[in-house]
Structure 1
Amino acid sequence: PNGQRIFRRQHIGQAASGLTYMLPSEDALAIGPLLQQRFGLPFWQIATTATDANRFALRVARAVTGREKILVFNGCYHGSVDETMVRLIDGKPVNRPGLAGEFRDLTRTAKVIEFNDVSALEAALRDKDVACVIAEPVLTNSCMVLADPGYHDALRKLTRQTGTLLLIDETHTISTGPGGYTRKYGLDPDFFVLGKPIAGGVPASVWGMSDDVASRYADYNRTKEPGYSGMGTTLSANPLQFAAMRATLEEVMTQENYDRMDHLARRLDAGLTGVIDRYRLPWHVSRVGARVEFICAPGPLRNGAEAEMAHAPELEAAIHVALVNRGVLIAPFHNMMLISPATSAAQVNRLITAFGAVAAKLAA
């Protein structure tokens, strides 16, 4: 509650002083060290969405490597970055179906492989034509797919061996801990992206780069033709974003809050799993920190193809409506639940009870 009050006070105070004026603010002096300490990388830029942050980081990766291609994972989610809008169908890379107004063959500059497949990763990087691998630590937009033990180590080793940069997009996995999945599990990316959670609901994102990449990018800028870089927008790094980010980092994303969120998420995981076991449903629960999801298929899932097959749209829609009828609303486009600093034990218990009632009806 104290953190929420401070967030509101700083947010409203800055709004009264001005939303944007295209100049630095005092909060910017605090945000730089906070991002360095929290996430480990030394150089940062502010953007408005994770899509922008990912796009800008990929542009830098291509600039410093001189390579055109990027590598993504089947079933990934990185906002609306064009190059990531590819998938595998029958083992072949294609544009994602349904892309409006997209006439290019995106697979010309993007490779796509399955998550957790080290052999496919090795083969995709072998020609040393990939500028950057853009990866979620856990696939989160097509059910939830956790990394196999040792997979992230292999990913980092192979990217380094082939001169490929590694971007970790934590927008959906910051639920893992105060420094995200990256700090908790010791990942060592060249780029780090964090979107919507960083400013507590105010549109903002951040992207950071390592010392090595920053040095290479400085060298590139000294030799490139002068002109607009294509990175940054008019409203990026406005003072309202800085005020909201500072309050979020200092008062909301605390170890105390994460410990409490993790405790309740474990309770929710165990409760939902208990219901599934009680009614012998062929489902499972997946969790990353404070993010919990029930999946209407056996698990665990290992890649995007398995995650896509696990979707049961009509069944999931019926479960969502049944939960709403019992006074419980979860994310309407996923079977996903996020524990927040404001979530109570009573709310978690109410969700477990409602889920149990719905499962009982389905089992009957």
Structure 2
Amino acid sequence: MISREKLAKLNEREQQTFYARNPKSRAAFERADHLFGKVPMTWMNKKAGGFPIYLDRASGNRIWDIDGNEYIDFALGDTGAMAGHSAPAVVEAITHRVKDLGGLTTMLPTEDAEWVAKNLTERFGMAKWSFSLTATDANRWAIRLVRAITGKPKILFNAYCYHGSVDEALIVVGPDGEGMSRPGNVGSPVDVTQTSRVAEFNDLQGLERQLKNGDVAAVLMEPALTNIGIVLPEPGYLEGVRELTRKYDALLIIDETHTFSAGYGGMTMRDHLEPDVFVIGKAIAGGIPTGTYGLSAHLAEKILSRTDLDLVDMGGVGGTLAGNPLQVAAMRATLEKILTQENFKYMIDLATVFTDGVNELFEKYNLPWSINQLGARAEYRFAKPYPKTGTDAFHAADPELEDYLHVYLANRGIMLTPFHNMALMCPTTTLADVEKHHEVFEAAIKELVAG
């Protein structure tokens, strides 16, 4: 349906517009000679326009760049700013901590930490909690704990899952149905098949085949894949995973860093999941770096009873700045005042309007694309029906088409997540913002399919 020649010409035009709109960002990028990859983190080089947009300021669901362009932000820091940029309650809490109380890193606990842990228990069911600075670290530490307590060496993942930069997670299903290193894996310490096993999401037979080997300490999974499109679980799949992990004496770690968009208690509360370990990060501190893992009461007691494990000093499950007063104050403000039941209902209802509108455009223009929604988050894929596995979702990508849509939208004041076609709602996103997206998105489609 889509002429690749036309797509190339449209991409060239939009690139030229992008250059013209963003001369200061382009100049700042060209001057960045002392940054590895010319950016603070190399993933900032995922840029459809040829160079990144440089931030000036942000508030709520709005971003302004150094060229003065304003954007409706549906990326929201890839969920890190789900509460909105500089939410007043978070600003007040961290300002009070910094200005009035001080003591940003003291190696001492604050009373806010117990409040946060209790709230996390109410949402996700785990009995005991420990804090980190990122969900990546929380996953790393959880992996150490489950290996220690089970005596088994391997962790099982889903192909094209997302658990940060955890070495063990960079495994996919190869052509022979067995695990292989994910393409592009940087400097893996050992062959990933020595540390990990892998099964496709929504494939219980494949999962059981791997668990039968008897060497899996835990299955570490997202309850819906989120970094390769939103791949939703088929009916009965998550229940089947829990049944199989128990059958083969493997623990279950649920990572809801992204799937927290499903609601107040994520998919764990919504779908009555029963993990042994739970991981979350990003969104729960309103933009301040954070991560945490929770343990069931039984598992926590079992681990703490092990006198041979160094859980206090250099055992590999801590960081000096983790649980610092600033982080914990931001977590409490975000959980108590922003990511509430009421706000989640508003965000999810708005995401439903977003999803329905995008679906209507796909039908109107007879496009073989589809969109999935996970609570306050929605993402489209260039396939119909929506892929059911991570590998199928990976093969449904179209980088040239994706770049066109991202730059077209950015040139007209709409920002999506740069790594994929994800849109997230926050408490300050409005119906008018969603309608503006649909207006610009339809214009992009019209140009693409016009005869």
Q: TM-score, normalised by structure 1?
A: 0.96
Give me the whole-angstrom Cα distance separating, in 2, the residues matched to 1:127 and 1:362. Answer: 50
Number of the residue aligned with 1:5: 88
- Residue 194 of structure 1 aligns to a residue in which SS? strand
Q: Which runs of 4+ in 1 moved over 3 A?
A: 1-4, 223-227
Residue 290 of structure 1 aligns with an amino acid whose one-letter code is: A
Matches within 5 A, 1:70-219: 70-90=155-175, 91-219=177-305
Give me the whole-angstrom Cα distance separating, in 1, the residues matched to 2:119 and 2:310. Answer: 34
Structure 1 residue 57 and structure 2 residue 57: aligned?
A: no
Q: Percent identical across equivalent pairs?
A: 44
Number of the residue aligned with 1:289: 375
Displacement of 1:110 in angstroms is 0.3
Give me the whole-angstrom Cα distance separating, in 1, the residues matched to 2:356 and 2:199. Answer: 32
Give me the whole-angstrom Cα distance separating, in 2, the residues matched to 1:206 and 1:103. Answer: 25
Q: Cα–Cα, structure 1 residues 203 and 316, in superposed 2: closer, same or farther, change >3 Å?
A: same
Q: Could you tell me which runs of 5 or more consecutive residues in structure 2 were left unpaired when the two chains were aligned.
A: 1-59, 61-82
Contact 2:278 2:293 in 1 (8 A): yes
Matches within 5 A, 1:266-285: 266-285=352-371
* 1:184-220, Cα deviation, whole Å (9 max, x unpaired): 0100000110011110110011100001111221232
* 1:111-169, Cα deviation, whole Å (9 max, x unpaired): 01111111111111113210000000111111221100000000001101111000000
Give me the whole-angstrom Cα distance separating, in 2, the residues matched to 1:151 and 1:74. Answer: 15
Q: Alignment RMSD, CA only?
A: 1.6
Give me the whole-angstrom Cα distance separating, in 1, the residues matched to 2:245 and 2:266. Answer: 21
- Residue 311 of structure 1 aligns to a residue in which SS? coil
Give me the whole-angstrom Cα distance separating, in 1, the residues matched to 2:365 and 2:123. Answer: 43
Residue 339 of structure 2 aligns with an amino acid whose one-letter code is: M
Q: TM-score, normalised by structure 2?
A: 0.78
Displacement of 1:103 in angstroms is 5.0
- Residue 281 of structure 1 aligns to a residue in which SS? coil
Contact 1:281 1:363 in 2 (8 A): no
Q: Count residues in correspondence.
A: 363
Number of the residue aligned with 2:34: none
Contact 2:109 2:325 in 1 (8 A): yes
Contact 2:362 2:369 in 1 (8 A): yes
Displacement of 1:324 in angstroms is 1.6
* 1:218-250, Cα deviation, whole Å (9 max, x unpaired): 232x24479621111011000001100000110
Structure 1 residue 15 and structure 2 residue 101: aligned?
A: no
Structure 1 residue 301 and structure 2 residue 387: aligned?
A: yes
- Residue 414 of structure 2 aligns to a residue in which SS? coil
Contact 1:276 1:359 in 2 (8 A): no
Q: Could you tell me which runs of 5 or more consecutive residues in structure 1 were left unpaired when the two chains were aligned.
A: none
Give me the whole-angstrom Cα distance separating, in 1, the residues matched to 2:243 and 2:114. Answer: 35
Q: Cα–Cα, structure 1 residues 26 and 118, in superposed 2: closer, same or farther, change >3 Å?
A: same
Contact 2:89 2:334 in 1 (8 A): no
Give me the whole-angstrom Cα distance separating, in 2, the residues matched to 1:166 and 1:188. Answer: 8
